[in-house]
């Protein structure tokens, strides 16, 4: 066979060498979809011919390939963490960034090769992807796998009307557990099990893929654990850098996958359940399971690691009824029966305990824990259910990593600041942001995406900038409020207690005081004049003119406002709201009483108007447009005019944690494992941000 006869889209012969392959439709000469991909017909190690890309994540690229010596089809995975390295278009060489990013790259590369060596031990196991070879080249590394012709469990589920009967689901899960039994024997964890990483070949064989050791290692090295997690499938210990992981960690993920298979829904995120477990039972969601099967699933999905099955064998025995009785040590959750208008159970909503996408779409994983902890609710829950000392809970709360970014609406605020603070803010050409390198405070050129410079090694969040000063909450010092000059000098602490939802207006800093049950405070930029404004537990602070607008968690998450002098406290809405943005004469928000659709209401509470007929998340109002994520369209990014007209789709990929800054929208691409992109406000010039944003 001549190599020139091979189609790079399917590795089948195209003997007549027609432009379009008669087998798969691939057109010879098609350029890679991304300049980061190896060009088709690249040859590695003198024996592996590279074809089209089969899949891509934030840490690697998988290619279709051909073994020139053995004449067989293969799959080759390339180590390529896109936030730590780059490659020029049309070239093979991968170049790691300098400094600490280069150190993280090298560390991840070692773990990638270690993963290949580990998986090579299981060559021939029917339920573990086969690694045939691995090698270093082009400044990176590769491992060569047998090509598996089939579909992911995620796709299989979609083709099966979204859920499976328990017998079929168990038939898929048991081989996964068989695979885990083997890898656990050599002290290897998968740590990323979900329907995306379970493959079913054309013979119906179930194969566990993508162990992701390098991804986990980079997350731990950079203290950005949230980038490696799949919400709903990851247990709480994976959110903590000191969380103790073991077979019980994979058991939780398998339990979450089985839950998804039989109910059609993934469970709530583990951090939501840690405080208030609102997970509905499979039977409540329409699944038909025996009592023993349902209890086994509960035990696998116990929030606390010690309450789960400790070995795969125990879980398998319970699922098969071979272990007729086993101890359930965790409380079985009682879920609310309420549903939204679309019939979707309330437990599925993406709002973690009232803390998703605040005024400027701030989302912090673990913020709900802080709120309930400070209010005493978490202490009560721990005392009632576990008897564990508070110190352990304090460690959990301390280790939770704030996840990401927030967006811009400078209405009523000093130039360059974000209403509601957050983890990124803009002044002039510079964006100030919390980096992935331990959360340090950086600044970089917004337009070019380059020139990143460190301002402080403090783990910064709720960042504001005004003039020559950056104001931020310092996670390395109990979340106390700090200020530092933009050149990194004159670093000064302003408060004794933690500060949340910081926003700066007219030389006053408004914030939620962690030390006083998250009540609303203000303090002068020089640290004087600290004043309590309200006794409400407040979130999502918006300061406009003489008014502060906020969500009042003390009164069912209704919208309230109060004057900056603490007078005229007024209720605005009679329903729970979320994601509030104040712009002009209106408060834009999602209405939880109506399926989280996008609404606006006047500042005095009159003239409530529905803007969309579908749910919206991470909303940002900027320059007469509302930017938001549409849950009803696979979480893609949209914009819509303030009157509800001109709805425009901006991205095709699922997005979250949207930042609107000057002429740019910055967002995380969920399809590429939370890779950060930027795009113009009109949807053009979409590009990957390469320098640590």
pLDDT tens per residue, range 351-410: 332 222 232 222 233 333 333 333 344 444 444 444 444 444 444 444 443 333 333 343
What does pLDDT average to over the chain? 80
Q: For 436-472, how does the pLDDT look when each residue is reduced to its tens digit (9 = 90+)?
A: 555 688 887 776 656 678 899 888 888 888 888 999 9
If asked whether residues 289 and 435 sit together in one domain, one would say: no
If asked whether residues 225 and 312 sit together in one domain, one would say: yes
Please give the distance of CA 61 from its chain centroid, rounded to a whole number.
20
If asked whether residues 547 and 600 sit together in one domain, one would say: yes
| 656 three-class SS | strand
The residues with which 212 forms a beta bridge, in sequence order, are none
If asked whether residues 515 and 532 sit together in one domain, one would say: yes
| 530 three-class SS | coil
If asked whether residues 519 and 455 sit together in one domain, one would say: yes
Question: Contact, 349 vs 244, CB < 8 A?
Answer: no
The pLDDT value recorded for residue 403 is 32
**Domain CATH number, residue 160:** 1.10.510.10
CA distance 472 to 492: 11
Residue range 60-64: average pLDDT? 92
**Domain CATH number, residue 108:** 3.30.200.20
The pLDDT value recorded for residue 11 is 94
Strands 508-513 and 519-524: antiparallel
Instruction: Check whether 48 has a pLDDT greater than 80.
Output: yes
Strands 206-208 and 198-201: antiparallel
Query: Token pair for residue 617?
Result: 């998340």
Instruction: Check whether 324 has a pLDDT greater than 90.
Output: no
State the distance between the two ends of the chain, measured CA to CA, in whole angstroms: 47
The number of residues making up the chain comes to: 693
CA distance 255 to 262: 11
The neighbour count for residue 126, using CB atoms within 10 Å, is: 12
Q: For 254-307, how does the pLDDT look when each residue is reduced to its tens digit (9 = 90+)?
A: 999 999 999 999 999 888 887 778 899 999 999 999 989 999 999 999 998 989
259 within domain boundaries: yes
CA distance 168 to 165: 6
CA atoms within 13 A on the CB side of 143: 24
CA distance 128 to 184: 13
End residue of a domain, out of 146, 181, 197: 146
Residue range 208-235: average pLDDT? 63
If asked whether residues 422 and 469 sit together in one domain, one would say: yes
CA distance 625 to 261: 39
The pLDDT value recorded for residue 392 is 45
Instruction: Check whether 349 has a pLDDT greater than 70.
Output: no
If asked whether residues 561 and 603 sit together in one domain, one would say: yes
396 within domain boundaries: no
CA distance 235 to 314: 18
If asked whether residues 158 and 139 sit together in one domain, one would say: no
Split at pLDDT 50, 70, 90, the class of 422 is low
23 within domain boundaries: no
Query: Token pair for residue 98?
Result: 């300098």
If asked whether residues 138 and 160 sit together in one domain, one would say: no
Question: Contact, 417 vs 464, CB < 8 A?
Answer: yes
Strands 48-56 and 60-67: antiparallel
**Domain CATH number, residue 552:** 2.120.10.30
CA distance 163 to 85: 39
If asked whether residues 130 and 156 sit together in one domain, one would say: no
The pLDDT value recorded for residue 410 is 39
234: left (phi over 0), alpha (psi -120 to 50) or beta: beta
342 within domain boundaries: no
375 within domain boundaries: no
Which residue segment(s) compose the domain that 469 sits in?
A: 401-688
373 within domain boundaries: no
Strands 430-434 and 424-427: antiparallel
376 within domain boundaries: no
If asked whether residues 418 and 300 sit together in one domain, one would say: no
The pLDDT value recorded for residue 445 is 77
If asked whether residues 664 and 529 sit together in one domain, one would say: yes
Q: For 243-253, how does the pLDDT look when each residue is reduced to its tens digit (9 = 90+)?
A: 788 899 999 99
Please give the distance of CA 606 from its chain centroid, rounded to a whole number.
36
Query: Token pair for residue 42?
Result: 């690249």
Question: Contact, 589 vs 560, CB < 8 A?
Answer: no
Buried/exposed 221-254: b ≥16 CB within 10 Å, e otherwise: bbbbbbbbbbbbbbbbbbbbeebeeebbbbbbbb
Split at pLDDT 50, 70, 90, the class of 485 is very high
End residue of a domain, out of 94, 121, 146: 146
End residue of a domain, out of 270, 305, 330: 330
277 within domain boundaries: yes
Q: Give the count of domains, the chain.
A: 3
**Whole-prediction pTM value?**
0.52
């Amino acid at each position: 066979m001549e190599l020139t006869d091979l189609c790079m889209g399917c590795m089948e012969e195209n003997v007549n060498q027609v432009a379009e392959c008669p087998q798969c439709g691939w057109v010879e000469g098609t350029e890679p979809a991304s300049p980061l991909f190896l060009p088709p017909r690249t040859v590695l190690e003198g024996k592996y011919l590279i074809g089209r890309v089969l899949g891509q994540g934030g840490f690697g690229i998988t290619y279709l390939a051909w073994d020139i010596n053995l004449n067989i089809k293969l799959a080759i995975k390339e180590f390529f963490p896109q936030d730590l390295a780059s490659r020029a278009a049309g070239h093979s060489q991968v170049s790691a960034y300098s400094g600490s990013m280069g150190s993280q790259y090298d560390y991840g590369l070692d773990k990638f090769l270690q993963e290949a060596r580990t998986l090579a031990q299981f060559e021939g196991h029917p339920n573990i992807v086969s690694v045939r070879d691995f090698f270093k080249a082009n400044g990176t590394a590769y491992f060569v796998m047998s090509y598996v012709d089939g579909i992911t469990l995620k796709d299989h589920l979609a083709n099966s009307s979204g859920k499976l009967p328990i017998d079929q689901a168990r038939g898929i899960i048991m081989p996964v557990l068989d695979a885990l039994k083997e890898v656990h024997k050599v002290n290897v964890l998968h740590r990323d099990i979900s329907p995306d990483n379970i493959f079913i070949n054309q013979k119906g064989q179930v194969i566990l893929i993508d162990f992701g050791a390098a991804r986990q290692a980079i997350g731990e090295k950079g203290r950005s654990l949230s980038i490696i997690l799949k919400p709903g499938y990851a247990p709480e210990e994976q959110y903590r850098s000191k969380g103790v992981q073991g077979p019980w960690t994979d058991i939780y993920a398998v339990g979450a996958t089985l839950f998804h298979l039989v109910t059609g829904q993934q469970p709530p995120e583990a951090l939501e359940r840690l405080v208030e477990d609102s997970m509905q039972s499979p039977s409540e969601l329409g699944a038909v399971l025996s009592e023993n099967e349902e209890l086994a699933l509960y035990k696998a999905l116990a929030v606390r690691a010690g309450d789960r099955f400790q070995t795969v064998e125990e879980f398998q025995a319970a699922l098969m009824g071979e272990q007729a009785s086993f101890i359930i040590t965790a409380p079985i959750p009682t879920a609310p029966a309420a549903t939204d208008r679309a019939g979707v159970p309330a437990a599925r909503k993406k709002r973690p305990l009232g803390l998703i996408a605040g005024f400027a779409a701030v989302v912090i994983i673990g913020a709900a824990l802080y709120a309930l902890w400070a209010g005493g609710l978490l202490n009560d829950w721990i005392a009632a259910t576990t008897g564990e000392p508070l110190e352990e809970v304090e460690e959990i709360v301390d280790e939770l990593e704030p996840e990401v970014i927030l967006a811009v609406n400078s209405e009523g605020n000093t130039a360059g600041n974000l209403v509601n603070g957050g983890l990124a803010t803009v002044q002039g050409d510079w964006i100030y942001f919390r980096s992935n390198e331990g959360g340090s405070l950086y600044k970089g050129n917004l337009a070019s995406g380059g020139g990143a410079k460190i301002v402080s090694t403090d783990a910064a969040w709720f960042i504001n900038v005004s003039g020559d000063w950056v104001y931020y909450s310092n996670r390395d010092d109990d979340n106390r409020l700090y200020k530092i000059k933009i050149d990194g000098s004159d670093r000064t602490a302003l408060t004794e207690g933690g500060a949340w939802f910081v926003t700066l207006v007219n030389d006053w800093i408004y914030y939620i005081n962690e030390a006083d049950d998250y009540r609303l405070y203000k303090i002068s930029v020089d640290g004087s004049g600290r004043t309590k404004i309200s006794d409400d537990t407040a979130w999502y602070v918006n300061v406009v003119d003489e008014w502060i607008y906020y969500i009042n968690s003390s009164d069912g998450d209704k919208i309230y406002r109060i004057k900056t002098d603490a007078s005229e406290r007024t209720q605005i809405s009679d329903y729970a709201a979320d994601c509030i943005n104040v712009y002009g004469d209106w408060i834009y928000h999602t209405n939880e009483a109506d399926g989280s659709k996008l609404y606006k209401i006047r500042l005095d509470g009159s003239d409530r108007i529905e803007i969309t007929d579908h749910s919206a998340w991470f909303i940002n109002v900027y320059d007469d447009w509302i930017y938001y994520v549409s849950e009803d369209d696979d979480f893609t990014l949209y914009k819509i005019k303030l009157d509800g007209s001109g709805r425009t789709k901006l991205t095709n990929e699922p997005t979250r944690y949207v930042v609107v800054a000057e002429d740019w929208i910055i967002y995380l691409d969920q399809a590429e494992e939370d890779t950060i992109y930027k795009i113009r406000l009109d949807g053009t010039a979409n590009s990957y941000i390469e320098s640590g944003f």
